[in-house]
Amino acid sequence: MGSVSEELSLVPLHQRPELLEACAKLLGEEWGKSRASRLHTLQRSSDTFPASLLLLRSRGPATAPATREGACQLVGHVRLSRVVSRPRDLFVESVVVARALRGQGYGRRLMEATERWARARGFVCLHLTTHDKQHFYAHLGFVLGEPVQSVAFLSPAMPAVVLRLFSTPPGTATTTTARPRVPSAPPPPLPPPAAPPPPPPPTVVWARGVLAESSGQSLLETPHRDTKGLPIFWMKKDI
C-alpha cells in the first residue's frame, strides 16, 4: 500500500470563502456568540487586516500534489490585526484548534505558521493576550510584555490622522501648523538636584523554567486585568 502524507497549510479565510461556515462553527464552539456575529467578523478578513488565517490539513498519497481547492480539514484559526503606532507589529487573537485535534502539536504548528506568514510580509513583532495559556506561549518564545492598542478594522472612511498611526513609525512627530513664538521671561534657576539613591539589585523570578525580571508580573502573576476584572497576561515575540 502507498504511504499517506499529511500536508498543513496556512491560508487566509478570504481566499477560501467556502470555509466561512466551518470557521464560524469552530469559533462558536470555543467562545459562543451568535452565528451572525461570528460571520460578520469573519467576513471582514482581508489582506489589509484584520486577517483570519486558517490552518488546513489535507491527506493523500505521498506522491499526490496538494491542490488549493482540494478536500481539506479545518484544523485551527488565528486572527491578526494592526497595532496603533507600531506599523511593523501585529496583534494575535482568536487562536483556536479544533477540539478533536488538540494535544497533537497543532497549536504549536499553527503559531509557527503564523509567524512565518507575518515575517514574510515584513512584520517583526507579534503581541497577544491570554488568561491561562502563558506557559504555552512562553515555550514558543513569547515573553511578558505591556499592553498595546489594536484596531480590529481599518477603513478608508477613518480620519486621516488615525490611519497615519499605522504608517508612521513610533516616535515620529506629525506636522502641525507653526505658531508665532512669543518671548517669555526666563524661569528662575532651580536648586541643584539631590543625588539619587543607588538602584536596588534586579529581582528575578523563576516560573516553570522561565526566567524573567520582576516588574510586577511573572508567568504566575500579572498586574493587568481585562474588562471583566480577570487577570490577563500580555505577551510579545520578536519574529
Q: Does the bond joining 231 to the residue before it have cis omega, within 30 degrees of 0?
A: no
pLDDT band (50, 70, 90) for residue 132:
very high
φ, ψ of residue 72 to 5 degrees: the values are -155, 165
Asked if 232 contacts 224 with a C-beta cutoff of 8 angstroms, the reply is yes
141 closest CA partner among 10, 77, 236 = 236
Mean pLDDT of all residues belonging to the chain: 82
Quick one: pLDDT at residue 153? 56
Structure pTM?
Answer: 0.73
**Rounded Cα–Cα distance for residues 134 and 114 (Å):** 17
pLDDT exceeds cutoff 80 at 190? no
pLDDT exceeds cutoff 90 at 131? yes
Q: Range with the lowest mean pLDDT among 54-58, 81-85, 208-212, 215-219?
A: 208-212
pLDDT over 70, % of the chain: 69
Between the two ends of the chain, the Cα-to-Cα distance in Å is 41
pLDDT band (50, 70, 90) for residue 59:
confident
**Rounded Cα–Cα distance for residues 11 and 29 (Å):** 21
Helix (H, G, I), strand (E, B) or coil at 35: helix
174 closest CA partner among 49, 85, 88 = 85
pLDDT band (50, 70, 90) for residue 33:
confident
